[in-house]
Structure 1
Amino acid sequence: MTLSVEDRLDISELLALHGHLVDNDELDRLDELFTDDVVYETSNLGHGEVHGLAAFRDMARARAGKPGAPVGHHVTNIVLTEAGDGRVHARSKGIGAGPDGECGSVTYEDVIVRGERGWRISRRKIFLHFTPAAAPETEESGR
């Protein structure tokens, strides 16, 4: 499979949609973003792995409005790699803005599949960055 320009644009818009839906509390529309059997891994954030769209909705609802929960999710630096079998690997950066103005940075690693309803994320793994990549290992950084 060769990704067309249209596929690349559709996938980039799909990745951007996450912030709009989550930040606007439109969790009932998450089927526009994820497959029904999505695996959403947030172990690096301390939340473990969630299986299925309903479980992801429950997790998102439980986290909404809690201290430390971002009020803005912004995606950037999207890199797409064809993976065969109708799958695409996407790597992107995320910036989360908190209600107090504090920001955090994550890397999203996604497996995206094309189905009857178009492109959807079937697996997402999130890595929260605690320290700069070149920082020396310290007890506080956990690296």
Structure 2
Amino acid sequence: MTDHEEKTMNAAPSLTPERLADVESIRQLTHAYSWAVDNSDLGALMDVFTDDAEWDTSAFGMGVVRGQADIRAFFATLIQNTTSRCHLALNHRIDVEGDDATATVYLHAFVLNPDGRRDESVGYYADTYVRGQHGWKISRRAAHALLEPPPAPVQSS
């Protein structure tokens, strides 16, 4: 278990109204991510990431990309290489410290490929968030597989 995961899993936060609002905002951000990917909305998807964000899918054979331009290109390829997608984000464990936050978010994703094959992924995201002028954003998201992942729809560069 990484330090991030242990810290998130062992967090015992006080439940102030401000903290509850932050946690809900972050939870909604993870749902906005899923909705944007599943609906092929690259503009909405880029709204959830910081300009210098890192997206790590190396556990799924798709490498690491950094910055909005490369993240956008990654997801444009994913959308092009799949017919449809369905991402479920669940069991959020969120730790907020001021304008920074971390979370572990389970994922269950289905992808329909152009050849009709349906792939399924089960794992979790290890997330880092920052609060800025426009609210909470993902600054780093690393996807980790809990079950053997299917073939990668995006080839790492």
Judge same fold: TM > 0.5, yes or no.
yes
61 and 129 in structure 1: CA distance in 2 versus 1, 3 angstrom threshold: same
In 2, are the aligned partners of 1:109 and 1:126 still within 8 Å (CA)? yes
Stretches of structure 1 lacking an aligned partner (at least 5 in a row):
132-143
1:78 aligns with 2:92: yes
Deviation per CA, 1:22-62, whole angstroms, max 9, x where unpaired?
A: 11111012232110100111111111110101111101111
Relative to the length of structure 2, the TM-score reads 0.74
Find the partner of 2:126 among 109, 123, 133: 109
Alignment length (residue pairs): 129
Q: 2:140 aligns with which of 86, 100, 123?
A: 123
| 1:90 alignment counterpart | 103
> Runs in 1 of length 4+ with deviation above 6 angstroms?
none
* Secondary structure, aligned partner of 1:4: helix
1:48 aligns with 2:63: yes
**Which residue type is aligned with residue 63 of structure 2?**
G
Asked if the contact 1:70–1:96 (Cα under 8 Å) also holds between the matched residues in 2, the reply is no
Superposition TM-score, scaled by structure 1 size: 0.81
Residue pair 2:92, 2:104 contacting (<8 A) in 1 also: yes
Residue from 14, 18, 23 that aligns with 1:8: 23
Task: Describe the SS at the equivalent of 1:71.
Answer: strand
3-state SS of 1:96 partner: strand
Deviation at 1:111, TM superposition (A): 0.3
Kindly, what percent of the aligned residue pairs are identical? Answer: 27
Distance 2:73 2:109 in 1: 20
> 1:70: Cα distance to partner?
6.1
Q: Which residue does 1:31 correspond to in 2?
A: 46
Cα distance change of structure 1 residues 115 and 44 upon mapping to structure 2, 3 Å threshold: same
Q: What are the ranges of 5 or more consecutive residues in structure 2 without an aligned counterpart? A: 1-15, 149-157
User: Counterpart amino acid of 2:95?
Assistant: T
**In the alignment, is the contact (CA less than 8 A) between 2:56 and 2:143 conserved in 1?**
yes
More displaced stretch, 53-62 vs 97-106: 97-106
